[in-house]
Amino acid sequence: MKFTSFFRKAKEEKADDKKKPTRENKAMDKKQDSIVILCGGGPAPGINTVISAVSKQFLEADYRVIGLHDGYKNLFSGKASVVDIDFDYADRIFNRGGSALRMSRYKPKNEEFKTDFFVENSIKLLVTIGGDDTASTANRISKYLLDNNVKIQNIHVPKTIDNDLPLPEGISTFGYQSAKDEGVRIGSTAYEDARTSGLWFVVAAMGREAGHLAFGIGAACHYSMIIIPEMFDKTKISLDKIIRLIISSIVKRAILGIPYGIAIVSEGVFHNLSDEEIKSSGIQFTYDDHGHPELGNVSKAHIFNMMLQMKLKELGLADIKSRPVELGYELRCIPPKAFDLMYCNLLGIGVRQLFDQGYTGCMVTSNQTGEIMPVHLKDMEDPETGKIRTRLVNMSGHKAQIIYNYGLHYLSEEDYEAAQKYLGYPADYDFKKILNWK
């Protein structure tokens, strides 16, 4: 009888539990205020830290936290893949690399926009994590929702290892510092290999339009040549000039009795080259449906290294050997370093602060003292394109001036006589003349 009573009581308690509002049942209540988090573009260290910090803040305030997979891809299709984020989920991911929410580079057109998802889920805040394209799309969505009387706030968290979003001077995008640290770790090993083997390495670093990552890694590793798109501010960029800049460094070091070195090149230089220029490189490319070279299918370091080897043979310097090293995908999904763990936590908490203060259509930023500040997306738009402006390396800034004037090895006019041992026309390899710098 005792056992029968025990099981009857347990069964009754279980039935009562089913009637209680579980987190899952509560999450389906359309009346509960919600926020939605999505990630666009490519991975960067610290994404999960931001997702975790934002989620914990809003869960504490009794909001439903919706994680949206695949960026903007299915936001308006009625096929959104979502996850309800609870504390356990958020707490497990905060220090992991990659992104717990699948990412996408999909950019919806204005005619795709709908209010359904936001209205049906009682969304009060759209949190977007991404780079310039993600921010520009968030800006367009914000305008659309406002025009259609859907009152939600939109706060963007600037993410990119390229560091090319127009944040206040001295403030980096999250992910950049961790990616740079990992790039320096790999790059330092490559430099040790160059010194040990008596070789040259040509390193290519990610950076779609700006050279921040290549500059940061190259300067930290004491590379003898750093080539970024911003340095071609007084002349048109070309593959020939890039190769001559590398050879300028090789010959300068040869004069100094240093038979090794590394030149790092930002992949951003390709975005300033015409298709004809790229095709003329002699490298075999595949082409897209519009006839454009598919640069994502080839190693940029391989391209530069092959062209360098061909030029060295042409100059009678075939005994100088070089090898390619690509710094790209290896940097994107590493666990965030201490800087970004702290920084991303501040940004996540900052989203809640700005939301409570009523801000919308802005990026969250945190300065060196930890102060949270909004930067409005409309203030960063290019008035002609409506897109977010790209932050380039400031070639007039102190860092760039110091590194390019004192931190590299390259030929100048005073080296011409010694350089004739290697080159018939040393002036063609004069660093400042190539760039048309005074």
Q: Which helix (H) or strand (E) holds 327?
A: strand 322-327
Sheet holding 362-366, edge to edge: 82-84, 64-68, 34-39, 123-130, 153-158, 362-366, 372-376
Integer Cα distance of 159 and 133 in angstroms: 11
3 state SS of 156: strand
Residue 93, both tokens: 């991911």
Integer Cα distance of 160 and 169 in angstroms: 16
Nearest to 274 by CA among 299, 295, 304: 295
Are the beta carbons of 105 and 133 closer than 8 angstroms?
yes
Integer Cα distance of 215 and 434 in angstroms: 19
Count how many residues are written for the chain: 438
Integer Cα distance of 322 and 299 in angstroms: 15
Handedness of CA 56, 57, 60, 63 (dihedral sign): negative
Integer Cα distance of 332 and 334 in angstroms: 6
State the maximum Cα–Cα separation within the chain, in Å, rounded to a whole number: 108
Are the beta carbons of 162 and 180 closer than 8 angstroms?
no
Integer Cα distance of 169 and 181 in angstroms: 20
Tally Cβ neighbours within 10 Å of residue 24. 9
**Bridge-partner residues for 157, per DSSP?**
129
3 state SS of 251: helix
What is the separation of C-alpha 234 from the centre of its chain, rounded to a whole number of angstroms? 27
Note if 162 is an active site residue.
Answer: yes
Are the beta carbons of 155 and 139 closer than 8 angstroms?
no
Catalytic residue, chosen from 132, 162, 415, 430, is: 162
Residue 260, both tokens: 């090794």
Nearest to 174 by CA among 46, 362, 349: 46
- Residues recognised as catalytic: 162
